[in-house]
Structure 1
Amino acid sequence: MAIEVRAASVFDDVAAVLGPKRPDANVCWCLSYRLTSSKENLALRGWARGERVRELVAQDPPPGVIAYDGDEPVGWAAVHPRADTSFATNRKIPHVDDLDVWSVWCIRVRPGHRGQGLSHRLLAGAVAFAREHGAAAVEGYPVDNGGAKVDLTMAYVGTRALYEAAGFTKASDTESVINGFPRVLMRLDLR
């Protein structure tokens, strides 16, 4: 498998991984944490969510990275400066210092491509992308599941073990819980 992770700068490729089967369906499109306004997030419905992602993909830097198997988009990792996300004001996930960090908050692998280590490659690609854009550090907010199974619909945040395998260390506990598991703040210093 020749996987390459690149900037998510092609909307159709992002849509292939994140978009719904029906364009009018209400799916996250990985906007829930990317938008700084919960009001905007709640107001965007159906096709408007995809159009908002189209706008983000056209920006520099784009909102994440895509894993490709040849020309086929097979995975996604959301990564962007924390200041441009809802993590900038999230009361349940602390700021450990004043560094201008980047956040990774969603890792998604398309069905049929799971169980092949793509999450590891996507996280590494997200870190490389943040480094290329001058990030001082990268944070993630995965569940600390102790090896227990995480419901697939909630697995997008990743696991502590995934982040540890990528060289991240636990920087703080959080007050956030997903699928019954506490989330921890994992940090990788890039300086």
Structure 2
Amino acid sequence: MSEFTIKALTPETFDDFAALVERNKGMFASCWCTKFHPDCAEKGQSAEGNRSLKQRLVADGPRARGAGLRRGPGRRLGRVRIPEELPSIQHRKEYVATAERLPDYRVTCILVERGLRGHGLAAIALRGAVELIAQAGGGLVEGYPHDTGGIRKKNSSFLYNGTRAMYEREGFTYDRP
């Protein structure tokens, strides 16, 4: 991992993040990593509005809302979304009712540059994000990987948060779907 650096998403690193998102067409439905925020596009916001929302959240947030992966001094290759809260998480009622403890951090999305997928960069990004969380004081980290049921061939564009197997290799334990 020494050839890679992980940087927290801050106002100073936002332009690198924005360039990565733009190269990947705004990510999923131009969400700009705001999908579970109440002001996201699904509630009438445009892609540009989501970009502005994300920039505002990064400027306002006291804790990292993401981390970026780069190789050497080159451009950003990937990113990890780490929100503190998800006010619009899917199935929130069931989620809260079955949680033993709410997490301090959540890994909700991992984006790796389209042409670089399948080379282990998501695991490096996840590991780096966990290290940034530890440097910030740590806490319970929850992830939402896809359980592929052992099927090795999946379209990587649909694995926007990595696989359960990857998380388990990185030391996460399975709790519930």
Which range moves more in the overlay, 145-154 or 108-117? 145-154
Of 149, 154, 158 in structure 2, the residue corresponding to residue 150 of structure 1 is 154
Deviation at 1:99, TM superposition (A): 4.4
Structure 2 length as normaliser, TM-score?
0.81
2:58 aligned residue: 57
Q: Which amino acid aligns with 1:168?
A: F
1:13 aligned residue: 16
Unaligned runs of 5+ in 2: none
Deviation at 1:57, TM superposition (A): 2.3
Q: Is the 1:5–1:121 Cα contact (8 Å) retained in structure 2? A: no
Q: Is the 2:146–2:164 Cα contact (8 Å) retained in structure 1? A: yes
Matching of residues 1-191 of structure 1 within 5 Å: 2-9=3-10, 10-19=13-22, 27-33=30-36, 35=37, 37=38, 41-58=42-59, 59-71=61-73, 72-81=75-84, 83-87=85-89, 90-91=92-93, 93-94=95-96, 95-148=98-151, 149-172=153-176, 174=177
- The root-mean-square deviation of aligned C-alpha atoms, in Å, is 2.7
More helix by share: 2
Q: Distance in 2 between matches of 1:22 and 1:145?
A: 25
Q: Is the 1:102–1:139 Cα contact (8 Å) retained in structure 2? A: yes
Unaligned runs of 5+ in 1: 175-191
Q: Which amino acid aligns with 1:137?
A: L
SS of 2:32's partner is: coil
More strand by share: 1
Q: Is the 1:100–1:135 Cα contact (8 Å) retained in structure 2? A: no
Q: Is the 1:3–1:67 Cα contact (8 Å) retained in structure 2? A: yes
Deviation at 1:76, TM superposition (A): 0.5
Structure 1 length as normaliser, TM-score?
0.76
